[in-house]
Amino acid sequence: MPHARRRWFSKTKRQLRFRISIIYYLAKSSCIPIQTKILAAITIGYLVSPIDLIPDFIPVLGQLDDALIVPLLVALTLHSVPRALIREAARKAVREPVSLTKNWKAAAAIVAIWLVLLSLIVFAVFKIF
Protein backbone atom coordinates (compact mmCIF):
# COMPACT_ATOMS: atom_id res chain seq x y z
CA MET A 1 0.00 0.00 0.00
CA PRO A 2 2.77 2.55 0.70
CA HIS A 3 3.96 2.18 -2.91
CA ALA A 4 0.49 3.08 -4.25
CA ARG A 5 0.34 6.09 -1.95
CA ARG A 6 3.75 7.25 -3.15
CA ARG A 7 2.63 6.99 -6.79
CA TRP A 8 -0.52 8.99 -5.99
CA PHE A 9 1.51 11.75 -4.31
CA SER A 10 3.94 11.81 -7.22
CA LYS A 11 1.12 12.05 -9.76
CA THR A 12 -0.64 14.77 -7.74
CA LYS A 13 2.59 16.74 -7.47
CA ARG A 14 3.13 16.58 -11.26
CA GLN A 15 -0.45 17.69 -11.88
CA LEU A 16 -0.08 20.61 -9.48
CA ARG A 17 3.19 21.69 -11.15
CA PHE A 18 1.48 21.56 -14.53
CA ARG A 19 -1.46 23.64 -13.29
CA ILE A 20 0.93 26.17 -11.80
CA SER A 21 2.62 26.47 -15.19
CA ILE A 22 -0.80 27.10 -16.71
CA ILE A 23 -1.51 29.81 -14.13
CA TYR A 24 1.87 31.39 -14.87
CA TYR A 25 1.05 31.66 -18.57
CA LEU A 26 -2.47 32.88 -17.82
CA ALA A 27 -1.07 35.62 -15.59
CA LYS A 28 1.07 36.81 -18.50
CA SER A 29 -1.90 36.82 -20.88
CA SER A 30 -3.59 40.07 -21.80
CA CYS A 31 -6.94 38.29 -22.30
CA ILE A 32 -7.84 37.71 -18.65
CA PRO A 33 -9.48 40.28 -16.35
CA ILE A 34 -7.47 42.14 -13.72
CA GLN A 35 -9.19 40.26 -10.84
CA THR A 36 -7.99 36.96 -12.26
CA LYS A 37 -4.50 38.36 -12.81
CA ILE A 38 -4.44 39.43 -9.15
CA LEU A 39 -5.60 35.97 -8.04
CA ALA A 40 -2.97 34.34 -10.27
CA ALA A 41 -0.30 36.65 -8.83
CA ILE A 42 -1.36 35.76 -5.28
CA THR A 43 -1.28 32.05 -6.15
CA ILE A 44 2.18 32.22 -7.70
CA GLY A 45 3.41 34.59 -5.00
CA TYR A 46 2.28 32.24 -2.25
CA LEU A 47 3.99 29.34 -3.98
CA VAL A 48 7.35 31.04 -4.44
CA SER A 49 7.27 32.79 -1.08
CA PRO A 50 9.53 31.20 1.51
CA ILE A 51 7.09 32.46 4.15
CA ASP A 52 3.97 30.35 4.76
CA LEU A 53 0.81 31.23 6.63
CA ILE A 54 1.65 28.43 9.06
CA PRO A 55 5.40 27.64 9.15
CA ASP A 56 6.41 24.16 7.96
CA PHE A 57 8.32 23.40 11.17
CA ILE A 58 4.99 23.10 13.03
CA PRO A 59 4.18 19.40 12.72
CA VAL A 60 1.16 18.49 10.58
CA LEU A 61 -0.32 22.02 10.48
CA GLY A 62 2.62 23.38 8.48
CA GLN A 63 2.15 20.78 5.76
CA LEU A 64 -1.65 20.92 5.99
CA ASP A 65 -1.46 24.65 5.27
CA ASP A 66 0.29 23.97 1.94
CA ALA A 67 -1.92 20.99 1.17
CA LEU A 68 -5.09 23.09 1.50
CA ILE A 69 -4.22 26.67 0.53
CA VAL A 70 -2.20 25.98 -2.63
CA PRO A 71 -4.75 23.66 -4.31
CA LEU A 72 -7.57 26.03 -3.30
CA LEU A 73 -5.81 29.02 -4.86
CA VAL A 74 -5.01 27.02 -8.00
CA ALA A 75 -8.64 25.84 -8.32
CA LEU A 76 -10.05 29.33 -7.77
CA THR A 77 -7.71 30.82 -10.34
CA LEU A 78 -8.44 28.20 -12.98
CA HIS A 79 -12.18 28.36 -12.31
CA SER A 80 -12.21 32.10 -13.08
CA VAL A 81 -10.79 31.68 -16.59
CA PRO A 82 -12.58 30.49 -19.76
CA ARG A 83 -11.63 26.97 -20.86
CA ALA A 84 -10.29 28.15 -24.22
CA LEU A 85 -7.69 30.32 -22.48
CA ILE A 86 -6.77 27.47 -20.13
CA ARG A 87 -6.23 25.14 -23.12
CA GLU A 88 -4.01 27.72 -24.81
CA ALA A 89 -1.97 28.21 -21.62
CA ALA A 90 -1.79 24.42 -21.18
CA ARG A 91 -0.25 24.05 -24.64
CA LYS A 92 2.39 26.63 -23.67
CA ALA A 93 2.97 24.84 -20.36
CA VAL A 94 3.55 21.54 -22.17
CA ARG A 95 6.08 23.16 -24.54
CA GLU A 96 7.81 25.23 -21.86
CA PRO A 97 7.17 24.07 -18.27
CA VAL A 98 7.78 26.73 -15.65
CA SER A 99 10.12 26.10 -12.73
CA LEU A 100 9.33 28.42 -9.85
CA THR A 101 11.87 28.90 -7.08
CA LYS A 102 11.55 30.57 -3.70
CA ASN A 103 11.75 34.33 -3.99
CA TRP A 104 12.09 36.91 -1.20
CA LYS A 105 10.33 39.60 -3.25
CA ALA A 106 7.32 37.31 -3.44
CA ALA A 107 7.59 36.77 0.31
CA ALA A 108 7.47 40.53 0.88
CA ALA A 109 4.40 40.79 -1.35
CA ILE A 110 2.63 37.97 0.51
CA VAL A 111 3.48 39.55 3.88
CA ALA A 112 2.10 42.86 2.61
CA ILE A 113 -1.12 41.17 1.51
CA TRP A 114 -1.52 39.46 4.90
CA LEU A 115 -0.90 42.76 6.69
CA VAL A 116 -3.50 44.54 4.56
CA LEU A 117 -6.04 41.77 5.20
CA LEU A 118 -5.27 41.81 8.92
CA SER A 119 -5.62 45.60 8.99
CA LEU A 120 -9.01 45.38 7.25
CA ILE A 121 -10.19 42.78 9.76
CA VAL A 122 -9.02 44.86 12.73
CA PHE A 123 -10.63 47.98 11.24
CA ALA A 124 -13.91 46.10 10.72
CA VAL A 125 -13.89 44.76 14.30
CA PHE A 126 -13.22 48.22 15.75
CA LYS A 127 -15.95 49.70 13.57
CA ILE A 128 -18.46 47.15 14.88
CA PHE A 129 -17.61 47.87 18.51
pTM: 0.68
The answer to whether the CB of 48 falls within 8 A of the CB of 100 is: yes
The answer to whether the CB of 109 falls within 8 A of the CB of 48 is: no
pLDDT averaged over the chain?
83
- For 80-91, letters b (16+ CB in 10 Å) and e give ebeeebbebbbe
Residue 87 has pLDDT above 80, yes or no: yes
Please state the domain extents for the chain. Answer: 2-128
Q: Burial of 62 by CB count in 10 Å (0-12 exposed, 13-18 middle, 19+ buried)?
A: middle
The predicted pLDDT at position 85 comes to: 92
The answer to whether the CB of 39 falls within 8 A of the CB of 76 is: yes
Q: Looking at residues 110-115, what average pLDDT do you find?
A: 80
